[in-house]
Amino acid sequence: MTLLSYQHRVLQTGSLPLRPGARLQRVPHACTATLIWPDDAVPTPENSVVTDPCFTGEGFVEASAVLRELGVGFDVLGSYFETHQHGDHMLSFPSLDTPYPERRFQPGSDGPLAGVSAVHCPGHSPDLHALVFRSGNDEVWIASDAIIDEEWLRAWRYYWPNGYSDEEIVETWRSVGRILARAHVVVPGHGPPLRVTARLLEELAKSFEQALFTELCPEVGEQIRRRLASDASLPADA
């Protein structure tokens, strides 16, 4: 049996105005939208899925350019997957002239996307599911807001309008641990993809000790250290 392998391209690079320490930066509020399709094919409506297709005006322009580069148009978007039911990740196009993807992607079904599975990553939202697939030797995680972006990950601090309960923050760290135990590439909810390296994990293993509520989920630090000790496929640095 050959292992199913997929390509992915970010159609809209997400960003978020709110930064650690409640600083604000002048960037749009947009989620990261990603197209996934099999390695040995060009994307078609039948063999591809777009994640979190909540396009802003600027994001739509970016997505148009990426699709053009791939030699396809918006009509290639046949099915979509919303990682969680927050308004900034749900199907939305800035123009009504473009055909919407019509089918919701069902992970676990047969067909060209059979190798793409969903993994529950609650905390940010109780219903959050990441999409996980192989890409060559890499395991790619479309993590969405389980990891908001790299700066957020390195800060180990919840700074999104802090309505989160202690339990939700602990759940979030557990989801981060689940992702970092396996991912080679993480596509976060509001930033560009990041590569998981030994250096990144070493820094995160250290900084995790300063995070809130780590005493309630010591297994997260343990997972990171175990991967560092055992995974020979980790690149030293990006």
Chain residues binding Zn ion by CB under 5 A are 88, 145, 189
Distance CA 31, CA 163 (A): 20
Tokens at 38, concatenated: 């099999």
Check: CB of residue 101 under 8 Å from CB of residue 74: no
Q: At closest approach, how far in Å is the CB of 89 from Zn ion? A: 5
Q: Tell me the CB-side half-sphere exposure of residue 140, using CA atoms within 13 A.
A: 21
The residue type of 5 is S
Q: How far is the CB of 88 from Zn ion (least distance, A)?
A: 5
For Zn ion, the closer of residues 38 and 189 by Cβ is 189
Give the nearer residue to Zn ion in terms of CB position, either 82 or 116: 82
Element (H, E) at 169: helix 166-180
**Rounded CA separation 146/226 (Å):** 21
Q: Which is nearer to Zn ion, 101 or 189 (CB)?
A: 189
Cβ at position 56, least distance to Zn ion in Å = 13
Nearer of residues 6 and 81 to Zn ion, judged by Cβ: 81
Please identify the residue of the shown chain whose CB is closest to the bound Zn ion.
145
Give the residues across from 9 on adjacent strands: 35
The least distance separating Zn ion from the CB of residue 28, rounded to whole angstroms, comes to 12
